[in-house]
Amino acid sequence: MNNETFELFFAMLAVATLVGTLIVLASRTILRSTGFGTAVIDGFRPFARPLSAAIATTCMLGSLYFSEIVNYKPCRLCWMQRGAMYPLAVLLVIFTLAKTRNIGRIVVPIAAIGSCISMYHWLLERFPENLDSGVCSKDVPCEFVWFEHFGFVTLPFMALTGFLAIIVFNTLPSATE
């Protein structure tokens, strides 16, 4: 397989994750009072934590693949996103296996910080003339796009999707709410 195949695979995975996240989010907000929304949340709840761990781990392994195998050099904003995602991957796997309760208090703030960095990075790619990051180097500029699929899916967008999924999946209302 070539790099383009992996790029497309991870882009499709990000879009699928985004669609699933939006369905869960719509079910808990817009459709909350309907039987459909409740059924979606109740059916999804048992899988939310393991799926969050799988998403964070996939994001971590994907970023390592692109930097260590394909040699896409991460910029400073990429490193900051990794600084949020890598601990989430480890914590979510441990918390899932240990069946730790109330992990949202730990993982949601980390994911929120990561999502803010990812959103800014993605916007910087889209509008480099309007945003000055002030953190990036000339050797590896933050506005450089290594690849793009579907007109919007880039590496920072993939990270943003992962962070948003982790936030939504780990803030589901309990069965008693």
What pTM, to 2 d.p., does this model score? Answer: 0.93
> Which band of pLDDT confidence, cut at 50, 70 and 90, is reported for residue 134?
confident
- Per residue in 47-87, pLDDT (tens digit) is 999 999 999 999 999 999 999 999 999 999 999 999 999 99
What was the pLDDT predicted at 32? 73
Cβ contacts of residue 112 below 8 Å, gap of 6+? Answer: 163, 167
Rounded Cα–Cα distance for residues 43 and 170 (Å): 15
Q: Check whether 175 has a pLDDT greater than 70.
A: no
Greater confidence (81 vs 140) lies with: 81
The percentage of residues in the chain with a pLDDT greater than 70, rounded to a whole number, is 95
- Whole-number Cα distances in Å, 177 to 28, 48, 93, 172: 11, 17, 26, 10
Confirm if 85 and 64 have CB atoms less than 8 A apart.
no
Rounded Cα–Cα distance for residues 13 and 117 (Å): 21
Give the position of tokens 């208090």.
Answer: 105
